[in-house]
Structure 1
Amino acid sequence: MTAADNNPLIDRRQAMRGAAMAGAGAMFLSPAMALSASSDMSAIRRAAEAGRQASIQRIQDWIKLPSIAAEDRNMPEGADYMASLAQDAGFQHVEIVPTDGYPGVFATLDAGAPRTLGIYFMYDVKQFDPAEWSSPPLAGAIVDRPGFGKAIMGRGAVNQKGPEATFLAALHAIRAAGRKLPVNIVLIAEGEEEIGSPHFKQVATKPNVLAALKKCEGIFIPASWQDKNGNVSVNLGSKGIVELELVASGEKWGRGPKGDIHSSLKAMVDSPTWRLVQALQTLVTPDGNTPAIDGWFENVRPLTAREKALIAETARNSDEAQRKAILGVETWIDDLPFEQALQRLAQEPTVNIEGLVAGYTGPGGKTILPGAATAKIDLRLVPNQTRAEAETKLRAHLDARGFPDVEVNVSGGYDPTETDENSRLIRTELATYERAGITATLNPRLAGSWPGATFTAPPVSIPAGHFGMGHGAGAHAPDEYYVVESTNAKVAGLVDATMGYADFLYQLAAIR
């Protein structure tokens, strides 16, 4: 994330309890099996199985319509399609909500139930280069993923269209089974998550939307983060983020060229590119590992004893070597032991260079002195930092260091989130995973980001998190996929993930 970053603290401590079904083709132990006495869940499962192909097709069709805010691609069409998906799933009230940017979608499904659940969707996806993919990124082809089974491959498959469509599949299955929803649903969706949700708060604070959200027991974004052992992490928060560009130019600086000139002239002309490099060096310590922006840490809240204990448990029960292999790294930052590296992952704010561009970057050389240089930056924030504080301090730092000409162009971002582990939302997640036989570990903070602060902060002020079963990977990368037919007895396929969402709704209705 952003919203859709894969969970970096996945616990790998044991195989799923109750997954005694052996054999190469054995399937995940579903919530329906654990609830065999429940006629509701048995009927819903039959409906989910009957609707399986339609559910797969729904994901594939959605993948074929990429809404990419960064490219202004299919944005009105994406909002319309999101609205139609909500209507098809049974939401009685559906509206497209205009903003100063791209529109959001708001929908309500009133089941006359005592409790209400909020669901957050994003209908936008990241950019893609088809040349980097083994299968066309908009085809939604079914491919084999060793160790997991058959999966849909395409941009948005796991981030987030696959999990979101699977939640909708649960609503379709409950209705097809002739059962009444045990809770009311409030759906809020945006099309700017992948550019830092710059206008999402306008959607959430529209009076009728805000009134509906405030009635919710909590809100979650559908997810599919089961590892190969079937385990998941339950996040109690997420880091915030600010996405921006730093731009140094001869025009703003008043030195160096206003456009590209021949590189031989460097002997007598200043370079905006070197000026940007010098500005960047002031933002971090010499090793690049710790932010050095003036006042950056003054509001950072240290980890609590409880948070450290949760991280220690994760470190003890995780496969460090496998984690390194997945990431393609040999050592952790500053050569830290695993537990301390995990603590740093949860606690430390970061200054990261996403991209650095100046002048010519094509084949061969081109002897120019560029007139401008740009660094794409993301700042990850932890409690009790805020986006507003970060932007102010960054600008003040550059000015104080003699770089008032370096532009700070913020494109989006939001504050960090925190949710009480004793909230009804988190307890329902844990109860649902337990009933499905899934080992779930509490994670103090997701190092990735999503706009959950829109919900946890005033005026909405409700718990927010992630929930879901199943597996996918490749968010923001080539060959993104979402498993729909699992050959791993510990990992949910599409039907079992659908039943996980259905069971969550019943659990939320019943939990005290």
Structure 2
Amino acid sequence: MTDQADGIIGRRTMLKGAVAGAALSAPGAALAADGMADVKKAIAAGHDAAVKRLQDWIRLPSIAAENRGYPEGAEHMKQLALDAGFQHAEIVPSKGKPGVFATLDAGAKKTLGIYFMYDVKQFDPAEWEHPPLEAKLIDKPGFGKVVMGRGAVNQKGPQATFLAALHAMKAAGRKLPVNLVLVAEGEEEIVSPNFHEIVTAPQVAPALRKTVGVIIPTGWQSPATGGVTLALGAKGAVEFELTVSGEKWGRGPKGDIHSSEKARVDSPPWRLVAALATLVTPDGNTVTIDGIQDKVRPLSARERELILLNARANSEETAKKALGVSRWIDDMSWEESLLRLAQVPTVNIQGLVSGYMGPGGKTVLPGKATAKIEMRLVPDMTKDDTLAKLRAHLDKRGFTDVEVNVSGGYGPTETAETSALIRAELATCERLGVPATITPRMAGSWPGVIFTGPPLGLPAGQFGFGHGSGAHAPNEYFVIESSNPKVMGMDAAAFGFVDFLYQVAATA
């Protein structure tokens, strides 16, 4: 599967035919004058090993929600760091799943923080075209050779690509232009309930304070344009369950009873439905929890400008196709949908569980009902304030018995557009010929606020090239060898990380 040395700037790169030229010329950048030919050769030579490294990682899942793959996941993550050249790596315990902390001292003037997650989402094998832990290489029309498996793009594919860059630098005998501090967690997919404990550990926080910022590797190039959207922040998230039980309520049955009794016995499921209905408008699209809207900071003029620039640079048709939707709420325009995506908090029902859902009917009146909920938070909302308002809102309406069981969460994250980290990301895109736009915040969430908030106050964001899709869904994939001339394959994306490290070193 490995190409010749020049292949990395040929078939696998194919980014408008410009990646090689941009990297070789690199005017005013910190790349070596020879265009890093030895590193490109090392990336090509290490291609098969890099792909196998990713496949092996996918085949070893860590799923926090199912308590699956621990402590093996952390131990594997630690070894991945050591193999990539980190001189020190250790497992950091927490009240939940452990983290991994690693350092690479290259003797450089600057240090960059790297965030990894070694856990993945749950999966139902019956929904997949290929077994989700097989990590099978397949040909995907319009994309090329991809690896399919749980965690392929979220986040093991991009992270393995970053590790491939480090392996190549080591193989080429080159010191990195920056030192690295790596922090990995195993609970991101359950909203990072203990990550703050790992980051603030006495050996971790001082190392992170020395960094110029923190990135999470990504692979989100648009198949339509080859472009990337650089996020200055992300929404926060709080995940919890709302439960109504006859036992706690004091009404309704303590356990399931015959449904004929509904004529004279209260129903916990209907009470849960009534409680849920108070949290949002009838269409479910606007949060009505008392006081929540008071904490929502309006978009600034610059934030609106960036969003509208993104609307022009990206395709509404492509976005709708990827999501499997035909219209936005209220039939709003593309521009309006992007503005709303950035500025609106949400209450989402992930699932409702009560009674019997098997074949046929069971004619029971359930004694308990639970809704799995997540809320997305925008500036200036916080996790603690949001949960306090939720509790007060329910209590005010007589739902004092409704249990709120929080599993994890954190607030939104923000990084200045003028920060050296964002400027280095933009400069790398420009030098490699990758169209780039900036968005104030992405709609998804990651625990970046633990870096950007007190006490660290660091810039943080996502960065990387390549492409994948299907996060949290069946048939998740990551492109290994791209047939799309606008999207990088794994090798070219690995060189993009090398380029980025040099740009970080050169950016004042």
User: Is TM (by shorter chain) over 0.5?
Assistant: yes
Counterpart of 2:378 (choices 379, 382, 399) is 382
What is the deviation of 1:144?
A: 1.4
Question: What SS is found at the alignment partner of 2:294?
Answer: coil
How many pairs align?
491
Which amino acid counterpart does residue 436 of structure 1 have in structure 2? L
Contact conserved, 1:243 with 1:379, CA < 8 A, in 2? yes
Contact map agreement 2:117 2:186 (CA 8 A) in 1 = yes
Aligned AA (1:149): G
Runs of 4+ with >6 A deviation? none
Q: State the Cα RMSD in Å.
A: 1.4
Q: Which runs of 5+ in 1 are unaligned?
A: 1-20
Q: Take 2:507 and 2:146, find their aligned partners in 1: how far apart are those partners?
A: 34
Q: How far apart are residue 366 of structure 1 and its match? A: 1.2
Aligned to 2:447: 451
Structure 1 counterpart SS, 2:204: helix
Bigger shift: 278-287 or 308-317?
Answer: 308-317
Check whether the contact 1:116–1:183 (CA below 8 A) recurs between aligned residues: yes
Residue 31 of structure 1 contacts residue 499 of structure 1 at CA under 8 Å; is this kept in 2? no
The answer to whether the 8 Å contact 2:188/2:446 transfers is yes
CA separation of 1:32 and 1:175: change in aligned 2, threshold 3 A: farther
Equivalence for 1:171: 166
Map of 1:342-421 to 2, 5 A cutoff? 342-421=338-417
1:153 to 148, 167, 170: 148
The verdict on how the C-alpha distance between 1:332 and 1:134 changes in structure 2, with shifts beyond 3 A counting, is same
- C-alpha contact 1:30 1:499 (8 A) present in aligned 2: no
Whether the 8 Å contact between 1:154 and 1:481 is mirrored in structure 2 is: yes
The corresponding residue for 2:21 is 33
* Corresponding residue SS for 1:208: coil
Residue type at the aligned position of 2:431: R
1:131 to 126, 130, 149: 126
Structure 1 residue corresponding to 2:287, chosen from 285, 291, 300: 291
- Contact 1:163 1:468 (8 Å CA) reproduced: yes
Matched, 1:510 2:506: yes
Deviation for aligned residue 1:500 = 0.5
Q: Does 1:76 align with 2:64?
A: no
Task: Identify which range, 183-192 or 327-336, moves more after superposition.
Answer: 327-336
Instruction: Verify the 8 A CA contact 2:23 2:432 in the aligned structure 1.
Output: no
CA distance in structure 2 between the aligned counterparts of 1:173 and 1:420, rounded to whole angstroms? 32
What is the alpha-carbon distance in structure 2 between the residues aligned to residue 321 and residue 74 of structure 1?
39
Q: Aligned equivalents of 2:219 and 2:12: distance in 1?
A: 21
* Structure-1 separation of matches of 2:326 and 2:494: 38
Closer/same/farther in 2, CA of residues 230 and 242 from structure 1, 3 Å limit? same
Deviation at 1:36? 2.4
2:470 alignment partner, one of 474, 483, 491: 474
> Contact 2:12–2:492 at 8 Å: present in 1 too?
no
Aligned partner of residue 295 in structure 2, secondary structure:
coil
How far off is 1:40 after superposition? 5.7
**Matching of residue 196 in structure 1 with residue 191 in structure 2:** yes
Partner of 1:328: 324
Match of 2:4 in 1: none
Task: Report the 3-state secondary structure (helix = DSSP H, G, I; strand = E; otherwise coil) of the residue aligned with 1:298.
Answer: helix
Distance in 2 (CA, whole Å) between partners of 1:342 and 1:445 is 10
Once the 2 structures are TM-superposed, how far is the Cα of residue 30 of structure 1 from its aligned partner? 6.4
1:262 correspondence with 2:258: yes
Letter of the 1:209 counterpart? V
Q: Percent identity?
A: 64
* Distance of 2:318 and 2:153 partners within structure 1: 21
Gaps of 5+ in 2: 1-8, 26-32
**1:14 equivalent in structure 2:** none
Question: Which of the numbers 106, 110, 113 marks the counterpart of 2:105?
Answer: 110
What is aligned with 1:100?
Answer: 95
TM-score normalised according to structure 2 size: 0.95
The CA distance in 1 between the partners of 2:240 and 2:122, in whole Å, is 17
Find the counterpart in structure 2 of residue 305 from structure 1.
Answer: 301
Report the counterpart of residue 17 of structure 1 in structure 2: none
Give the deviation of 1:162 after TM superposition. 0.7
CA offsets 1:302-329 (integer angstroms, 9 cap, x no match): 0000011111112223221232222222
Offset at residue 32 of structure 1 (A): 4.3
Partner of 1:317: 313
Q: Does 1:232 align with 2:219?
A: no
**TM-score, with normalisation over the residues of structure 1?**
0.94
**Cα distance in 1 for residues equivalent to 2:418 and 2:19:** 23
